[in-house]
Structure formats: C-alpha cells, structure tokens
Amino acid sequence: MNEVAHSLKHHFLIAMPHMADPNFAHSVTYLLDHSEQGAMGLVINKPNGLNLADVLSQLRPDTELSPLCQSLPIFSGGPVQTDRGFVLHPAGPQYQATVEVNGLSLSTSQDILLAIADGSGPQKYLITLGYAGWEAGQLEAELADNAWLTCPADENILFDLPYDQRLSAAAASLGVNLSLLTSQAGHA
C-alpha cells in the first residue's frame, strides 16, 4: 500500500462533539492502516453489550467456559463486517490468523479467543466485532470538515484504561477537554 503524505497509521481518531454518526459519536478509533487506498480502524471505547462468553457460546457451544469470560467485554469496532471478530493485542504469540500492525498484533481466528478464555492468551487485548473503514479520500475529507482530532496512539490508553476513560484520555494527550468544546463546527 502506498503511504499518504501524512499517514495516520497508529494514531487515534477522536470524534468531535458535533459528530452525528451514531457509530462514531463520542468515540475514539485506533487506526490500523491509512494509505491512499483508504483507512481501517477499530473503535476502542464502545462496548456492544456482549461478552466473551456470549461469543464463545455461539462459536463453540460445547466448550466449558470460565466465569471470567462473562466479564470480558466485546466492543463495537465499527459498522463494517459486524459479524467478524478482531482482537488487537501486543506483539507476541502468533495465532492462526495474526498480522503485525504498527508494532501490535491483530488476530482474527477463533484460537485467540479460546486462549484468552483459558488464560493462555495475551494478557492485554481488545476484542471487537466489526471495524471502521474509509474509502480513498473519505477520511481526509472528514478531517477537513473538523469531524476528528488526531493524536499518536498510546498503548496505555488502548489496553490499560477502562473503556469509559479512553476518549477523554486521548483528547487530554492533546491538551483538549472535549466537554469544553462546542458542538458547532466551522472554519475560520
């Protein structure tokens, strides 16, 4: 993939307060890729109401699950392919379908979910259903319309902070308090 002049790969997209799209309102998205062909990311702060036990009971109904699985949330990664799972985790063990992305790993196979469930998987991870995608030039147009703030990604925000603190922490890394911003957009 060709790089765009200012690739936002391994950055956070922070939704501005006036973001009307319910998929992205009050969201922070981790960008896995950004090139001339478009962009792909995972929304990291919107749990979808499911937990790992819910997902595994659908995939492997006969598997005995630990009670821990009921406390592991699944996130809405975005509106594209919402039936497909993605696990973002620090680089390390490779699973059946793992790719290295920006010094992290993205796994899409069931074996990582089973490893997390039995305690042998990565210690830090983010599990999503679906992803966010932008066609060529689409993200750049949204940035020009002041829909997003951007900042370099921070693994502490990705993996260590509770999900409901990720948006404000990403904005704070820029010195921004989103609650002080108006929901009106404009250009000077």
Taking the C-alpha atoms of residue 58 and residue 51, their distance in angstroms, rounded to an integer, is 11
Instruction: Assign domain 11-180 to its CATH architecture.
Output: 3-Layer(aba) Sandwich (3.40)
pLDDT digit string (tens) for 154-171? Answer: 999 999 999 999 999 999
Taking the C-alpha atoms of residue 110 and residue 40, their distance in angstroms, rounded to an integer, is 21
Residue boundaries of the structural domains of the chain: 11-180
pLDDT digit string (tens) for 20-31? Answer: 899 999 999 999
Tokens of 156: 């502490």
- The owner of tokens 């502490």 is 156
**pLDDT for res 5:** 58
95-131 burial, b at 16+ Cβ within 10 Å, e below that, comes to: beebeebbebbbbeebebbbbbbeeebbeebbbbbbb
Cα of first residue to Cα of last residue in the chain, in angstroms, is: 34
Choice among 2-6, 24-28, 162-166, 184-188 with the minimum mean pLDDT: 184-188
